[in-house]
Structure 1
Amino acid sequence: MGYLFAKLKFEQINHHRHYSCYLFIITAFLLLGCTNATNNNTNNVHEGLFENIKQYGNYILEKIQESIDYNLTTTALNETVNENQTSTFYRPIPISSFRIFIMRILEGSAVLFMIFGGVLPYIPQYLVIKKTKNAEGFSNYVCLTLLVANIIRIEFWFGKHFETPLLIQSIVMIICMLIMLELWTRVHSQAMGGDSSSDTSSQISNSKEQLTEVSDRRFMDFEVNYFWRWTTFSSYLQFLFIFTVILSIITWLFRYNLVYIETIGLVAVFCEALLGVPQFVRNFRLKSTEGMSVKMVILWTSGDIFKTIYFIIRNAPKQFWLCGILQISIDVAILGQ
């Protein structure tokens, strides 16, 4: 009996009212049997009493066992029905999975645009220079600004890691600026007498910005007056190589200096923020925007707006988005010109 009631407890069968009723009936019949045996003066009072206890005990055990079997069967049936309903009729619609899929597509698109979007503004300018064979409308100091800014940003990454897409963006931008610089150097050298044609002198005299001499100028000449006005593309590569090596050595020596790391991070984004300044100064000095691609400036502005919002949302270091705001202001000023 103890084992049975313990089993009933663990099976959590809530039919105690029926069991109480059974016990009450058994007790009543026992008292009735005992009273009858006393009235009849039989000698088998105890035998009749124990026999009744045994009979009613077996009866209650049978009822309890039937109740247990019934409840176990009902519980198993309900679980089976619930499983079938869940798997067949009540399967949840994966709305959240679709939403996550869309968000991942948007996030991936934003990352790709962040990496390659900076290249887009220079495609129209590249095509204009290549088509017209005239590089006057584009300032090669824009290339200098972006090359220095992105080299410093890569050095900043070694001291303080930021998002990988921003690192890849710097590498892509360096490649883009080298391509632009190569085209500008080739076209500008030809226009300033690199091809030694008969009409070169007239082009020089009519140019609004002239070199004092037509002879080749190289980086290894170490002439300050002709800094970043060299006539060979290899001279620019030599300068960038030496600049990168020196900066890398300094960064390695001060890699654990927090002040130095934060400073080069600020210098990197500040240089990039001043990207449009050379173009603005050139336009102001020449009193003309001829040769400058308006599409390039519009793409500058839209790209800088997107980039600044991206920096803020992605919790990039504050140097990034503060200088992004400055960059947008300069873009608007150039559009005003």
Structure 2
Amino acid sequence: MIFSFTPLLSYGSTVLSIRRKKSSQGFSIDICGTMLVASILRMFYYINDPFEVTLLRQCFVMVFIQVILLRVALKYRNLIRLFDYHYIRPFHYWQWRQPISFWKFLIGFVTFLSLVQIAFNGNEYLGITFGSMSFMIESSLPLPQILLFQRLKHVENFKVILLLSWLGGDFTKISYLFYGTDNVGLIFIIAAFFQMSLNFVITYQFFYY
């Protein structure tokens, strides 16, 4: 039960910090985008291939806190430095200037997945497709931070407490998958180890730079 609500603690503190400082500078809204897309995909994965209900509950909690975090981050963001100019995405995906664009995308994304679910309901490959996309997206969460460190050649303003929380979350997740439940697919375990390996890369960069 506690495992399901861990996102409230880890991301809730970020919400409070942004509101207190009235600035989201230093926080990447890519985190919100990554976790929202991954969690929504995982919900559709559950429809086709039910897994441990604790993990499903965590998806709902994650969506809830990420919606709040995105709203707060957009409210207090610095429009002058809206995104990293070294990395401009096609169609400025998740780099839009108008907050409404983010909410339109999320609504459209859920609508699109719903239509796909209706059209291909019962297809044996639909669940694994949703699941694979979900875990691939979530496990890539540390990549932007890795690339940023690599370009800047320093870790200034990166807090050690954040690094410890990421690593602690990895070990907690893997421990739960191995010892806390019997109904978990191999894809969960592979994604968890991949994400942990990326966090080890960040750990190496943290001490190297």
Structure 2: distance between partners of 1:184 and 1:265: 28
Alignment match of 1:255 (pick from 121, 127, 138): 121
- How many correspondences in the alignment? 201
Identity %: 27
Listed as ranges, the gaps of 5+ residues in structure 2 are none
User: Which residue of 2 is the match for residue 164 of structure 1?
Assistant: 53
- The verdict on how the C-alpha distance between 1:163 and 1:295 changes in structure 2, with shifts beyond 3 A counting, is same
Q: Which amino acid aligns with 1:275?
A: L
Using the TM superposition, name which of 121-130 and 299-308 deviates more.
Answer: 121-130
1:192 and 2:60 are equivalent in the alignment: no
User: Which residue of 1 is the match for residue 195 of structure 2?
Assistant: 327
User: Which residue of 2 is the match for residue 281 of structure 1?
Assistant: 147
User: Which residue of 1 is the match for residue 133 of structure 2?
Assistant: 267
User: Which residue of 2 is the match for residue 226 of structure 1?
Assistant: 92
Does the 8 Å CA contact 1:135/1:291 hold for their aligned counterparts? no
Structure 1: distance between partners of 2:24 and 2:156: 11
- Secondary structure of 1:120's counterpart equals helix
Q: Which amino acid aligns with 1:307?
A: K
The structural deviation recorded for 1:307 is 1.1
Structure 1: distance between partners of 2:24 and 2:157: 7
Give TM-score, length-normalised by structure 1: 0.54
The structural deviation recorded for 1:291 is 4.2
- The verdict on how the C-alpha distance between 1:179 and 1:150 changes in structure 2, with shifts beyond 3 A counting, is same
Deviations 1:147-173 (A, max 9, x none): 110000000011011121111100110
User: Which residue of 2 is the match for residue 116 of structure 1?
Assistant: 5
Matches within 5 A, 1:88-167: 111-112=1-2, 114-167=3-56
Structure 2: distance between partners of 1:185 and 1:138: 10
Q: Which amino acid aligns with 2:29?
A: N
Listed as ranges, the gaps of 5+ residues in structure 1 are 1-110, 194-203, 212-222
Deviations 1:197-252 (A, max 9, x none): xxxxxxx6xx99469xxxxxxxxxxx944221123332211100101110111122
What is the Cα-based RMSD across aligned positions, in Å? 2.5
Q: Which amino acid aligns with 2:67?
A: L
Q: Which amino acid aligns with 1:279?
A: Q
User: Which residue of 1 is the match for residue 169 of structure 2?
Assistant: 303
Give TM-score, length-normalised by structure 2: 0.84
The structural deviation recorded for 1:289 is 3.7
Does the 8 Å CA contact 1:149/1:268 hold for their aligned counterparts? yes
Task: Return the structure number with greater relative CO, CA threshold 8 A, min gap 6.
Answer: 2
User: Which residue of 2 is the match for residue 243 of structure 1?
Assistant: 109
Does the 8 Å CA contact 2:48/2:126 hold for their aligned counterparts? no
User: Which residue of 1 is the match for residue 64 of structure 2?
Assistant: 175
- The verdict on how the C-alpha distance between 1:289 and 1:185 changes in structure 2, with shifts beyond 3 A counting, is farther
